[in-house]
Structures are given as structure tokens and as C-alpha cells.
Amino acid sequence: MTFDEYLSYFEDILNNTEAHEAYSTNADYLNYTKLNWSRMNRWLKKFEPSAEMKVCIDNIKDPQHWILITEPWCGDAAHSVPQIYKIVNDNPFIDLDIQLRDTEPFLIDDYLTNGGKSIPKLIIRNDVGHDKVVWGPRPDALQSIFEQQKAEGKPFEEIKEAIQKWYNEDKGEEIQKELTKLLSE
């Protein structure tokens, strides 16, 4: 789906929850989705790609297909998805395709993180369908913090708080550095 279709899907979950079984039967999913709607909209209003990121994206002159695997309930996605959208939105050579992790064709099965279906996951393909870049589910620095806290046995609520705090303090800088580096390789 396009980013606008994803926003409509996201909003429909909030306005018509009964029509979305995963959300109507799982209070946590619905609560995460409500939080994530606010987070995502905040980034859509506040986030601006850096000058370096803009130059990197402006230099893309060959067609690319960016596939972003996500779900509205995902806390990491609430930060990364709107930032990626804002990064690529103005380049006509980049086609951004949002795919849901929990809906066929289950592309996530080909892009596992340590054996898990962690999202968001970004796959950048050239115009003949070859993967150029795979990124995700979160910036490397944050992934290290996540893995360390998980190994220390910290409660999931505490880990989630640390992740949200990191995203708010980072303001999208690390994802831009990583994407700029990956796109220049």
C-alpha cells in the first residue's frame, strides 16, 4: 500500500476497531496503536531530513523500490516509518511500498532479525528487483541497547520506556546516518 493508504488503514483501526480482529480482540495491540498514531503524527509534523540525507536522496536518479514492512501496533515503526516517508517523499525515482507484517505475502519471513519477525524492516531494491539495502528493525545503536537490556533480564515495560526515550532524544539522526551510509556503499 502507499503511505496514504497505510495512514487510512491505521486510522480505520482506531475508528472502526471491530472490523480489525487483531485489534478488537487484543487490548494491548489497540492501546499500542493509539499511542503510535500520536507518535507517528508528531514525527510527520516535526521531522525534517538533514541536509546530508536530502543530498543523498536527491542523488538517486535510478528507479528504486523501497519496501517497508510494518504494523500499526509496532512502537519502533511509529518513529521510523514517518521518518522514512519524509526522507523519500520528494524523490520521484523512489517508490515507497508499505507492507503489513501479519498479512500475506508475509515478506517478513525472508528478512528475519535473529530469527524473529522484528519490524519495521526496510528493503531497498533496484529497478530489476535485487536487494540493495536491508535495514531494521531499529538503528544499530538502539538495537545494541535493546539486546543488552533484554540480556540483563529487564522487564519489557522498562525496555519499551528506554526505547521511546532514545527515539525522542535521537530525533531521527541515527536512521539518517545509517541510511546515508548504506546508500553510498
For residue 176, which amino acid is it? Q
Domain that holds residue 92: 3-184
pLDDT score, position 127: 85
Q: What percent of the chain has pLDDT over 90?
A: 96
pLDDT score, position 128: 85
CATH of the domain at 156: 3.40.30.10
| Closest of 84, 89, 5, 77 to residue 35, by C-alpha | 77
Q: Are 77 and 70 in contact (CB under 8 A)?
A: yes
Q: Mutual orientation of helices 3-15 and 27-46 as an angle, nearest 10°?
A: 140
Mind listing the pLDDT tens digit for each residue in 19-74? Answer: 999 999 999 999 999 999 999 999 999 999 999 999 999 999 999 999 999 999 99
Mind listing the pLDDT tens digit for each residue in 136-175? Answer: 999 999 999 999 999 999 999 999 999 999 999 999 999 9
| Closest of 171, 160, 143 to residue 43, by C-alpha | 171
Instruction: Show the cell assigned to 47.
Output: 521531522
Residue 112 has pLDDT above 90, yes or no: yes
pLDDT score, position 45: 97
Residue 185 has pLDDT above 90, yes or no: no
Taking CA 126 as the corner, what is the angle to CA 123 and CA 129, rounded to the nearest 5 degrees?
A: 80
* Mean pLDDT taken over the chain: 96
DSSP annotation string for 19-44: G-HHHHS-HHHHHHHHHHHHHHHHHH
* 113 secondary structure, DSSP code: B
The domain tally of the chain equals 1
pLDDT score, position 129: 84
Q: The pTM is what?
A: 0.95
Q: How many helices (H) and strands (E) does the chain have?
A: 8, 4
pLDDT score, position 103: 92
Parallel, antiparallel or unpaired: strands 64-70 and 121-126 = antiparallel
Instruction: Show the cell assigned to 105.
Output: 505475502
Mind listing the pLDDT tens digit for each residue in 9-21? Answer: 999 999 999 999 9
Parallel, antiparallel or unpaired: strands 94-100 and 64-70 = parallel
**Beta strands, E only, the chain:** 64-70, 94-100, 121-126, 131-135
pLDDT score, position 93: 97
Quote the CA–CA distance of 105 and 51 in Å, as a whole number. Answer: 36
